[in-house]
Amino acid sequence: MPRLSRRSFLAASAAAIAGPVLGAAATSGEVDVAIVGAGAAGIAAARRIAAAGQRVAVLEADDRVGGRCITDTRTFGVPVDRGAHWIHTPDINPVAKLAPRPGFDIYPAPPGQKLRIARRNAREGEMEDFLSALVRSNRAITDAATRGKSDVSCAQALPKDLGEWRATVEFVLGPYGCGKDLNEVSALDLSKSSERDTAAFCRQGFGALLARLAQGLPVQVATPVTRIDWGLGLDVATEKGRMSARAVIVTASTNVLTAGKIKFSPDLPRRQIEAATKLKLGSYDHVLLELAGNPLDLQNDDLVFEKSERGRTAALLANMSGTALAMAEVGGNFGRELAAQGQPAMVAFASDWLVQLFGADVRKAIKRTSATRWNEEPWVLGAWSAASPGNQSARRTLAEPVGNKIWFAGEAVHETLWGTVGGAWESGERVAEAVLRRLGVIKEPEKPKRPPPKSTSSRRR
């Protein structure tokens, strides 16, 4: 079996995926590593394992790669991300670094955001008040997480004197930032998340970029894994056949795991299932509107919030990548209830909301529309994970290998970049390295020998 040092392995990974790795993807037989799911984590893990010369198979339940990151070019005739769209911290984002150029144009998102109060833009003093309330709230959540004896909810940690800004702050930090209302989010989990103040967009689509990075990998789509037997051996069952492996990496969402869509024999340890339950996915959807003639009078990729008095609100991303598309983003409990009513109800809310903020002429400018409903996607069942109060440690628990045969990867097991494509990618790379070490492919560097301790006899005397 070939053995690699960590340095040579990383060098090989950078040059991988120039062409087909293993040819046509097999659905039965023997492999070194079977990967369940072809989202960011699964793609990252497969690239690393293939670069190490190991036999790998990626089994994807859906009919496409990308997971929660997919670009649609059919609905509006231009690329639009129906899932993840923001490329956080692009300077260090592992996916952005791998973007082929020319071919993919990654450009910075405009700094800051705009705020609407009724049908006008916020004045300078009002914007300062809002940003001050946001900063104080973030600081209070961090203080509660670091000084408190127990992990409380973010809602409990908020300052009591937010006044007229409370509802807006709760939306920005909760449904918009976490996909959940703040009473359902661990203060410790949110405080541990890395800063995401800088971001970028991919003009060709974030999902399109991810799909490009999957080219050449042995991915079998429309092949849901139904069962993983990990008793004496290690077998993966699909509707198209069975596959034996030396290791399995599972990148399915926490909601898919807890829904029992994949059976395990023996059952997974109880602590693993409980950890997935504590990392339940939130709700976050896009309502897409084509607006002719820029009736909102906004710049490309402007981010707009509303000074709201209740939870029925959204965030607006206008003129996406210079197109006529506006995206109203809804999340949390309100977003979940709205999405459950179907696309017509979602489009109606977004249209009425924009009219309320920008005037009746907006309605006349609306052309084609569409909406996502991620809670109904059978192989996702939600948006992204956010730990419930008191359960931030569930991320480490879920990351524990099971019997040195099964590993879990994805945004849910990343402690600082949860909820991001970059976090899922890093998780996949880390797990791939752990698996390769377990298989003896990566040779750990020898630890330097410690010099013998100096004699202390004179000191004793």
419: CATH: 3.50.50.60
Give me the pLDDT at residue 231, please. 94
Find out whether 59 and 42 touch, Cβ atoms under 8 Å. Answer: no
Helices (H), 52-123: 94-97
When comparing pLDDT for 451 and 254, which is higher?
254
User: DSSP character for 373?
Assistant: -
37-80 tens-digit pLDDT: 999 999 999 999 999 999 999 999 999 999 999 999 999 999 99
Based on its alpha-carbon atoms, the radius of gyration of the chain, rounded to whole angstroms, reads 24
pLDDT for 461 equals 27
**Residue 1 confidence (pLDDT) above 60:** no
d(C-alpha 325, C-alpha 330), whole Å: 16
DSSP bridge partners of 289: 326, 369
Q: Tell me how far the alpha carbon of residue 30 is from its chain's centroid.
A: 31
Does position 23 have pLDDT exceeding 50, yes or no? no
Q: What distance in Å separates the CA atoms of residue 79 and residue 408, rounded to the nearest whole number?
A: 31
Q: Is the peptide bond before 110 cis (omega within 30 degrees of 0)?
A: no
Could you give the C-alpha distances from 342 to 320, 372, 373, in angstroms and in order? 24, 9, 8
Query: What does DSSP say about strands 56-59 and 219-220: parallel, antiparallel, or unpaired?
Result: parallel
* Domain-located, residue 159: no
Task: Give domain status of residue 175, yes or no.
Answer: no
Would you state the pLDDT for residue 446?
61
Instruction: Return the percent helix, strand and coil in the chain, to nearest 5.
Output: 35, 20, 45
Which residues, at least 6 apart from 414, have a Cβ–Cβ distance to it below 8 Å? 395, 420, 423, 424, 426, 427
pLDDT digits (tens, 9 = 90+) for 423-439: 999 999 999 999 999 99
Answer whether residue 346 is part of any domain.
Answer: no
Report helix, strand or coil for 51.
helix
Q: How confident is the model at residue 149 (pLDDT cuts 50, 70, 90)?
A: confident
Residue 59 lies in a domain: yes
**325 inside domain:** no
Is 396 in contact with 13 (CB distance < 8 Å)? Answer: no
Look over the chain and give the mean of its residue pLDDT values, rounded to a whole number. Answer: 91
Domain that holds residue 12: 4-66+214-280+389-443
With a cut of 50, say whether residue 14 has pLDDT above it: no
The predicted-structure confidence for 334-378, as pLDDT tens digits, reads as follows: 999 999 999 999 999 999 999 999 999 999 999 999 999 999 999
Average pLDDT value for residue range 218-226: 97
Q: What is the pLDDT of residues 236-270, one digit of tens each?
A: 999 899 999 999 999 999 999 999 999 999 999 99
**Average pLDDT for residues 212-230, to the nearest whole number?**
97
* Residue 122 pLDDT > 90: yes
Name the burial class of residue 450, with classes exposed (0-12), middle (13-18) and buried (19+) by CB atoms within 10 angstroms of its CB.
exposed
Would you say residue 459 lies in a domain?
A: no
pLDDT in tens, 275-314: 999 999 999 999 999 999 999 999 999 999 999 998 899 9
Report the pLDDT value the prediction gives residue 108, as an integer from 0 to 100.
Answer: 97
Flag whether pLDDT at 15 surpasses 50: no
With 50 as the cut, is the pLDDT of residue 8 above it?
Answer: no
Contact between residue 137 and residue 173 where contact means Cβ atoms under 8 Å apart: yes
Choice among 7-16, 79-88, 162-171, 225-234 with the minimum mean pLDDT: 7-16
Our count of domains for the chain comes to: 1
**What whole-number distance in Å separates Cα of residue 248 and Cα of residue 59?**
11
Q: What is the pLDDT of residue 197?
A: 84
CB neighbours of residue 246 within 10 Å: 17
Residue count of the chain, please give it. 461
Asked whether residue 237 is assigned to any structural domain, the reply reads yes
Half-sphere exposure (Cβ direction) of 10: Cα atoms closer than 13 Å: 4
pLDDT computed for residue 311 by the predictor: 87
Asked whether residue 157 is assigned to any structural domain, the reply reads no
